[in-house]
Structure 1
């Protein structure tokens, strides 16, 4: 029975890696769709979000069954409970990527944001893609150095997010109301995507070290 239980725990962790890989693909495609005004790629991201949702739901079902049948304790219990919370964050990251793709679809064939903000959003997109890739590696290896790297990249996303608000609220902003709304929403989606990755990184760091990093740090 113990061997079966350990195999189930490995399956939980493997499924987290699989979902995070789907999320990484989703944000990469969403960023490209947003930057290039590629409606076909945007539609792909929107359609594929169901795969992330289904995979997350199946993982949750597996984790709940393990809790009911195996009644894990100590680190094993933390792994299963953390998996449920990480699964929820990954599902939300998929949603953020989908929202970015939806903006690209709604504004096609036009670009979503004015020319003056495009370099900022290109950088935010690149950072989110990098964060997503690091998250896959983190869930595969539980290397705490990667968790720290994700937090550092999130700081860069936060700074860019604030710069977008400074821009659209500034006196020199020439955008229309729809431009302001789109830029604000897109920036928020990128920022929240990275925040969820940081939340996952903290949980993995806790599993690896036993030390909890406060959310505000």
Structure 2
């Protein structure tokens, strides 16, 4: 039974990696659609979200089945429960990528934000894609050093997020109301995407080391 249980845990990990790979692809499409006003990429991203949701539900069902049948204890229980939480965060990351793509689709053929903010959003998008790829690698390899690099990238996104607010609330801002709303929403989506990745990284790090990283870290 123990061997079967270990195989099931491996399947859970493999499924998490699969979902994370799809999320990384989704945020890549979303940010390119957003920055380049590419409606075809936006549509692809939006359509792909259904697959992410489907896989997340299937993984949750597998985890619940394992809990019911195997009755795991201690560390094994933490692994399965953490998988449920990670799955939920990945699903939310897919949703956030979709929200970014939807903004691109709504404003097509125009770009979503004014020219003055485009370099900021290009950098936020680049960092989110990098974070998503690092997260996939972390889930696959359990190399906890990656968690620190994800947190560092998140700090950069937080700084960019604040700079967007400073810009749209500043006296020199000449954007229309719709520009202000779009920039605020898009910045928040990018920032929250990275936050979910950090939350997942902390869970993986905890499972690997037994040490919980405080929220302030």
Instruction: Give matches, 1:12-161, under 5 Å.
Output: 12-161=12-161
What is the root-mean-square deviation of aligned Cα atoms in Å?
0.5
- Displacement of 1:216 in angstroms is 2.9
1:124 and 1:190 in contact (8 A); partners too = yes
- Displacement of 1:74 in angstroms is 1.5
Q: TM (normalized to structure 1)?
A: 0.99
State the Cα deviation string for residues 62-86 of structure 1 (Å, max 9, x = none): 0000000000112111110000000
Q: Counterparts of 1:178 and 1:60 in 2: how far apart (Å)? A: 38
Report which stretch shifted further, 70-79 or 155-164: 70-79
Instruction: Give matches, 1:6-17, under 5 Å.
Output: 6-17=6-17
Secondary structure of residue in 1 paired with 2:174:
coil
- Displacement of 1:215 in angstroms is 2.1
Task: Give the 4+ runs in structure 1 shifted more than 6 A.
Answer: none
State the Cα deviation string for residues 1-23 of structure 1 (Å, max 9, x = none): 11111100000000000000000
1:199 and 1:215 in contact (8 A); partners too = no
1:49 and 1:95 in contact (8 A); partners too = yes
Q: Which runs of 5+ in 2 are unaligned?
A: none
Q: Counterparts of 2:125 and 2:24 in 1: how far apart (Å)? A: 11
The answer to whether the aligner puts 1:205 opposite 2:205 as a matched pair is yes
- Displacement of 1:206 in angstroms is 0.2
